[in-house]
Chain A
Amino acid sequence: MSARVGQANLRAPGTAAVVFAIAHATFREAARDRVLYLLLAFALAVIGAARFVALLTVGSEVKIVKDLGLAAVSICGALVAVLVGVSLVYKEIERRTVLTLLAQPVRRWQFMLGKYAGLLAVLLLNVIAMASVLAAVVAWKGESPWPLLPAVGLVAVELAIVTSFALLFSSFANPILAAVGTLTVYVAGHLSWSFELLRSRVPAGPARTAARLAHVLLPNLDRLDIKAEAVHGIPLPEGYACAAALYGIGYALVVFLLACLVFERRDFA
């Protein structure tokens, strides 16, 4: 080891290894979070109980099972994304583990990417678990669960957006503020059509510009919601699901980069 003699061997480890290590650690941490299991258990219980709720109705049993199941997947997924996501970065800063971590030869964006990837993996597994149970119940009722797949896929895309916001807020705000911010985006995103309505109502000027801006800048989460079509088997326009996925993934990417930018400039006092 002649390391101490020259400086030629100053070399940072590869991005893939670093990101994977952080993602893995994040996954492991999130997987030990009790909130996750609570919500997962709740969602599975809802999906399971949907069968019994369906007993109360006349006809359309499977529809109710599907509706409740998809709702459970999307709501529980969003709650996990918010509750686990907002503390991801903040906890590292607050508990000062970020000091030892960023003193390693790690770039800050690699850290963020690892965090994001780790939580996304948790969420994806979550969604897959819930969707599998739902599919099993639907199949057991004698219907094909496959038409639900695009809706579940877009729920996953939606969760990627919500998580990116959680990460963004969590990189500069405490978990409560970050949770409020993320939930606000979630709700406003689902009401994004109202900003378009507002835009056509208010007189031209700053107010209209603001409404237009809000409509364009907020994630149009309602456009990613194709649950009703999936349940009723209504065909979507050609290319709709693909366009929605493209929109969602691109949007999440931009928000993630923004989070990296914020984190890059942070001081860890």
Chain B
Amino acid sequence: MNRPGESPTMATPVSDPPVLLLEGVRKAFRGHLGLGRAVAVDGLSLEVHRGEVFGLLGPNGAGKTTTLKLALGLLRPDRGRVRLFGLPPTEPASRARTGFLPEQPYFYDYLTARELLDFYGRLRGLGRAERQREVGRLLERVGLAGREGLPLRKLSKGTLQRVGIAQALLADPDLVILDEPMSGLDPIGRREVRDLILSLRREGRTVFFSSHILQDAEMLCDRVAILDRGRAVQVGRLAELVGRSVHWFEVTVVGANPEGLPAESVAVSGEETLFRVTGVEELSRLLAAARAGGGQVVSVWPRRQTLEDLFLEKLGREKAGRGTS
């Protein structure tokens, strides 16, 4: 559906009630045979506001999927409060304006894409004509037009993901919740998902998605929460969390004597020498010296702070030594 006369709402009025609210939510899972408990989410508080793209970031096992499921009422919190559009998520009405794409979605593989979307459309209370229009529009939007008659079991993983996205966009949702929407996709697929999220934001929808890849978040999110072992170690605007500054540069030089260059060599492999320099000035000095020494600069790689860096920093887990190489 086009939205005539609707302007992109980039800014988020703070006074608005949040689309999604989690307050001191805790969720633990019982182990096998009810023995032991694993705390998946521990005292998590979040607010997702209207019109923003909110990224839920963290390594595998941080509790991202659990959080999304709690938001949708698929899991019940042990403690705390969840409100979706101001209602408990167990209320179907709260989910009426929400679309959800699970991680690696599975569907009834004996159905075709059109049948599946038609089914979900019925569950969303769309009439026959509405369903036909909506399903056709979404198949077009996710690039499945022409393949809608194939049984789902014959579709590739990436194509299934498109079906999943189409399903999440049924009935014009205000909030779209995506669980690891880019994992398992090829570069083109990831690009498409990124574009999709950006266009959803342009349409004024709220997007709440999880990812373990910071690059995705960097390009898309207005705000992020970083989860680790069920706790939000950081919540805020992305730019405030992760400096966009470059930590250091890694420079590969061929054919120059490493001894004479104004930088510390990190590794030597055959003709190639790898240097690490911090700061732009140091870099230009190194480049000049390398050229003067008859060498050739093969590559310059600016090393930015990554989610992993931020994590290790936040959690003081530097000593594992993984952060520096």
Contact = CB atoms under 8 A, between A and B. Distances in A.
B106 interface: yes
Given A12-B96, A269-B75, A104 B120 contact: yes
B72 A105 contact: no
Interface in B156-171: 164, 167
Nearest to B102: A99
Interface residues of A, number: 34
B122 A21 contact: yes
A121 interface: no
B93 A96 contact: no
B174 A4 contact: yes
Nearest to A25: B119
Nearest to A103: B100
Of A10, A12, A18, A21, most B-chain CB atoms within 10 Å:
A10
A101 B29 CA distance: 22
Contact of A268 (B69, B99, B108, B119): B69
Contacts, number: 112
Given A7-B85, A10-B85, A101 B76 contact: no
Contact of A105 (B6, B29, B66, B125): B125
Given A10-B96, A11-B96, A29-B108, A21 B123 contact: yes
A93 to B, nearest CB: 11
Interface residues of B, number: 46
B124 A100 contact: no
Contacts of A205: none
Nearest to B50: A4
A174 B204 CA distance: 43
B1 interface: yes
B92 A105 contact: yes
Given A25-B108, A102-B74, A13 B85 contact: no
A198 B110 CA distance: 49
A125 interface: no
B174 A29 contact: no
A115 to B, nearest CB: 13
A101 B119 CA distance: 10
B107 A103 contact: no
A119 to B, nearest CB: 15
Contacts of B92: 12, 104-107
Given A10-B87, A100-B102, A106-B123, A267 B95 contact: no
Nearest to B101: A100
Interface in A188-210: none
20 contacts: A3-B174, A4-B51, A4-B174, A4-B204, A9-B97, A11-B93, A13-B125, A17-B122, A32-B110, A96-B105, A97-B107, A100-B120, A103-B72, A104-B92, A104-B95, A104-B124, A105-B95, A106-B95, A268-B74, A269-B69
Interface of A: 1, 3-4, 7, 9-14, 17-18, 20-22, 25, 29, 32, 95-97, 99-107, 265, 267-269
